[in-house]
A and B are shown apart, each in its own frame.
Chain A
C-alpha cells in the first residue's frame, strides 16, 4: 500500500524542492465569528449553537470585532500590509458540517497581504541559519462543524452507517495564513517547514490570539510540496492536509519529497491532488484530485458590510505589538548564561520555553537544561511527542531539582521520580511517597550494607586495600543495589574506604 520512496537526502541531491504552507488558526475569542455563541473548546456537542451558526433560515451574521483585531495584529506581526478596505466572500460548496453550505471567508480582498517571517533552521554542527519565509496573505473566515462517522471501520465517511455532526465548532473564527512558494530550501525543506510552523506558533502565542494547540486542532497545517530537476521550472505540487503536529509537518514534507522523487525518477508525473496525512504511519494517501477542482463560486458576502480598518487604529495596534519571539528568545537565552550551542539545541528541541519556565520556577539554568535536553528529550523522542506535550510541567522539574539540592534525592533517585511523574503516578512528592524513594542517610543501616558487600566480595576489598582505590566502584554499586539506589553514593564510598582503612 505504501508507495516507492527515494531516501530524503538522496532525493534532495537529485531534485530541488518548493514548499508552501497554509496554516489555519482558531482564534481564542470569547464568542464566535458571526454570532454571540461561546467559542470555547470541549463542550457537549451542539450546545454552543444558535440560529446564526446553525445557518437557520433568516439568520444573519455580524462580524466579531475582536476577531478583526486579532487578524490585523497577526498581519502586523508578520510584517504584512493591512488592507484599508476589504470584504468577506462566500465560498460555496455542499458539506453537511457547513450549515449554510457556504463558508464566509475572504477571497480576492484579504485583510493582510505581503509579509514575511524569519525563522531559524538548525544546520550541521548545532547552530542555526535564518531563512525568510514570504507570506502571501492572512485572512479571516469561519470554521466548519465537525462530522463523526459512525459504524465504519475507519472512522471515515466511506462505509459508515451514519454520521453525527457537532456544530459547536461551526463559526469559530479561523485565520488562514498562506506562505508564498518557498524555493531554495536545498537539502532541508522539511526542517524549514517545521521551523516555520514552530516560529509561527510562537508568534501567535506571543500575541495571545490563540491557544495554538495542534492536538486540539486550533492550529492546523496544509503542506504543499513540489520537486523539480535542478534549473527546471517548478514541478506540479501536491497538498497534504490533516498535518496536526510539528513533528508531522516535518514528516509530511519528508515523505512527500521521498514519494515524489520516486515517481519522477520512474518517469511518472505528479498528480495535482489533495493528500491525507496519517499520524500513525507518517505517510499520506491520495485524496480528491484537484484537477477536477470544485468551483467555489466566490462572490462578495452581501449580508456583511466591508471592513475598513482605521489607519490610526492599525498604528496603535502596531505600537502595542509584543516583542517578536526571536528577539525575546535572544534576550532570554542571554539571561540564562548558556552557550550559543546550548541555545540552538534548546530551540531545535522545542525546549527553550520549558527551560525558561523551569528556571523561572527556581531551578538553576544548567540543571534545567540538563533535564530538558537529556532524559526528558529522550522520553519525548521515544514517545513521538514534543517535549511540551510530555505529562510533566516545568514546575515539577524544578521541584525535583530542588529536592536533589536539599539532599533528599540522589540524581539516580531523581530520575526514578521523573519516570514516575511521566508514568502518571502524580507529582514529584507524591511519587516519592508512593514509591518510598528517599536517600538512606542512616549510617547504621548503611554500615550493615557495607559489611555485607565487603563480605560478598573479598577480592574487591583486597584490591582496594592494596591501593587500587578505583576498585571501590564495584563495592559502591553493590551497596547501592542493596539499598535500591536510595543511598547517597558519596556517603557509601566514604564509609567503604573508612572501613577498609584507605584514605584518598
Chain B
C-alpha cells in the first residue's frame, strides 16, 4: 500500500486496518502529513499543522496496540479541528487577527474525549473569523479554496474542515455550526456534515460566536464515518450547563441500519423554489424520489415562519456575539496595539479591537450592540426571540406528520471567490435552509446528493431534538443507493490537486 492510498480510506476502514495491524497509526499520520504538505499550498485548509504532536499521538496508539490494550473504533484515525476550538499548547485563532499567537492553556471537552478515543490531531483548520461567514473568505489568514475548483469558495464558516476532508488531507474533521457552518460547506464540497442536537455535544472550549446556537459536529466523507465521530464526541458534559444529560442517540447503529422503509419524510415547502438554483432543485427532487423508491413515505409539510428565520437569526446571533466578543480587549491575552505608555487603557482597548477584528465581525458587533440597546431591545432582540418560538412550533407541527424533514442544504453550488464578499445579504442567504434548525435546536445534516454544473450539492435532513439517529438512518440508506448509482463516493472525482 502506498502512503497516498492510506489517505483514500474512510475513517472506519483506517481504524480497522490499524486494529488488524495492517498499518500503524504512525504510517497513517505520516501519510496524511505528506498529503497536507503536497496539497495544502493550493487548498489552504489548515492554519496550523502539528506534525510532531500528531506523530507522537499516533505512536501512543501504536504502543497501546502493541501492549494489547483494546482500541476504540477510531483509534489512530487522523483528525482536523476547526480553529474555533481550543487546543492546549496549539495556537488557536478562530480565524482572527485579535487572537494571533494565543496558545490556550486547556483543551476543549470534545478534544479531551477524542484524544482519549485515540484520534490523532493533525492541526487546526481555516474558517471565517469567529465563524461569521459562508465562504471562509472572512478569515484573517486568507481564504480556503474548494478542492473541486480552486477558483471557488469551500463554504463557510467551516470551509477549512470541509476542504481538508474533501481534499483527502484528513478523513475526519470537527466543525461548528451556528447557522449552517458545518452543513453549507459540506454541501458545496461533497462531504457529509452534521449539526447535532443543541446540547448533544459539549461547547466547553468552543470559542463562542452565538452561545444559544453554536454546536460542534462531525465532517466526514461517509455517513458512517460521521456517525463514528459524532458518537465519540457527544454526550453530557457537566462543564457545559446547556449540555443535555441523556444517552447519546444510537447514531452509529442507525448509520449502519440504513433502512427508511415506512419512514415519513417531509419535504418543507418553504425551503425550495425561489432562491434555489435549478440544478440544486433538480438533484433535490431526484433524491426525494429515490427515498420514495427506498420505501419512505414522502409528504409535504409547511413551516410558514421559516420565512422569518434569516432576519431573526441576524438579530439573535449578532446580539450574543456582541457580548461574547467583548472579552477580546488586549488585557489578558491576544493582540495588543498602541500600548505606548501614553495612551489610556480605553484607547488601547479600542485600538486593539479596531485593528484585530475584520469588517464582518465589526458589522455584526455593531448590529448586535444596537439590537440589545435600551429602547430597541423589545423591537429587535425580543421580537426575534418570539420568531424563534414560532419556528420551534413549526418544527413541532411538522414532526407530527413527518419523522424527518428534507430540503436542499444550500441554495446553490460553490460560488467563485469574491463573488459575494461585498454583498453581505447575498452571503447571508447561503444559510436560508440551514438556519431554522439552529433556531429550533434539532439536529440536521448535509450529505451529497449529486452534482450540478459539475459541482457537488447537498441534501439536508432535519430531525427532532435528540433524534440525531434518524438523520443517520435516512442518510445511510440514501448514501448506499447513491453510491450504487454513482459507482462509489462522489469525492472520488475530486480533481488531482498535488503539484
Interface residues, chain A, with chain B CB atoms under 8 Å away: 51, 54-63, 90, 92, 94, 96, 99-102, 157, 161-163, 165, 295, 297-299, 302-305
B-side interface residues, number (CB < 8 Å): 45
Is B327 interfacial (CB 8 A cutoff)? yes
- CB interface residues, B 195-247, toward A, < 8 Å: 203-208, 210-212, 238-242
In angstroms, how far is the closest chain B Cβ from the Cβ of A9? 41
Q: Would you call B85 an interface residue if the criterion is a C-beta within 8 Å of the partner chain's C-beta atoms?
A: yes
Contact partners of A163 in chain B: CB under 8 A:
345
Best-surrounded residue of A60, A90, A102, A303 (most CB of chain B within 10 A): A60
| A452 CA / B462 CA spacing, docked (Å) | 110
A54 to B106 CA separation, bound complex (whole angstroms): 12
When distances are taken between beta carbons in the complex, the residues of chain B under 8 Å from A295 are 373-374
Contacts of A59 in B (CB 8 A): 106, 204-205
The distance in angstroms between the C-alpha atoms of A393 and B481, with both chains bound, is 85
- Given contacts A59-B204, A60-B203, A302-B320, are A297 and B374 in contact (CB under 8 A)? yes
B85 contact set on A, CB distance < 8 A: 58
Contacts A92-B326, A96-B331 given: A57-B374 contact, CB under 8 Å?
Answer: no
Given contacts A51-B105, A99-B327, A157-B345, 7 further A-B contacts (CB under 8 A): A51-B106, A162-B341, A295-B373, A297-B322, A298-B372, A299-B372, A305-B241
Is B327 touching A57 in the complex (CB atoms < 8 A)?
yes
CB of B92 within 8 Å of the partner chain: yes
Q: Once bound together, how far apart are the Cα atoms of A299 and B369, in whole Å?
A: 11
Q: Indicate if the CB atoms of B94 and A57 lie closer than 8 Å.
A: yes
Contact with A along B446-464 (1 / 0, CB 8 A): 0000000000000000000
* CB of B249 within 8 Å of the partner chain: no
5 A-B pairs with CB atoms under 8 Å apart are A57-B86, A62-B240, A100-B327, A299-B372, A302-B242
Q: Nearest chain-A residue to B94 (Cβ)?
A: A57
A298 CB contacts on chain B under 8 angstroms: 372
| Min CB–CB distance A174 → chain B (angstroms) | 19
- Cβ contact within 8 Å between A96 and B345: yes
Q: B40 to nearest A CB, angstroms?
A: 25
Take A57-B104, A92-B372, A299-B372 as given contacts and tell me if A304 and B204 are in contact as well, using a CB distance cutoff of 8 Å: no
Q: Which residues of A contact B381 (CB under 8 A)?
A: 299
Q: Is B242 a contact of A99 with CB atoms below 8 Å?
A: no
Assess the B238–A62 pair: CB atoms within 8 A. yes
Q: How far is the CB of A87 from chain B (nearest CB, A)?
A: 12
A161 to B240, CA, bound (A): 40
Q: How far is the CA of A305 from the CA of B211 in the complex (A)?
A: 12
Asked if B99 is an interface residue, CB under 8 A from chain A, the answer is yes
Q: How far, in whole Å, are A412 and B337 apart by their CA atoms in the complex?
A: 69
Query: Chain B contacts of A62 at CB under 8 A?
Result: 238-241
* B108 on the A face (CB < 8 A): yes
Residue pair B326, A94 in contact (C-beta under 8 Å): yes
- What is the CB-to-nearest-CB distance from A36 to chain B, in angstroms, rounded to a whole number? 10
Query: Is B169 interfacial (CB 8 A cutoff)?
Result: no
Whether the pair A303, B241 counts as a contact (CB closer than 8 A) is yes
Q: Are A58 and B207 in contact (CB under 8 A)?
A: yes
CA distance A157 to B345 in the complex (A): 10
Quick check: is B349 within 8 A (CB to CB) of the other chain?
A: yes
A59 to chain B, nearest CB (A): 7
Q: Is B332 an interface residue (CB 8 A)?
A: yes
Across the interface, name the chain A residue whose C-beta is closest to B350. A94
CB neighbours (8 Å) of B238 from chain A are 62
Question: Contact between B211 and A55 (Cβ–Cβ < 8 Å)?
Answer: no
**A56 engages B99 (CB within 8 Å):** no
Is A101's CB under 8 angstroms from B327's CB? yes
Contact B349 A94 (CB under 8 A): yes
Q: Are A94 and B104 in contact (CB under 8 A)?
A: no
Closest to A304 in B: B241
Q: A94-B329, A302-B212 are in contact. Are A297 and B104 (CB under 8 A)?
A: no
On whether the beta carbons of A302 and B211 are closer than 8 Å, the reply is yes
CA distance A303 to B208 in the complex (A): 10
Q: Is B292 an interface residue (CB 8 A)?
A: no
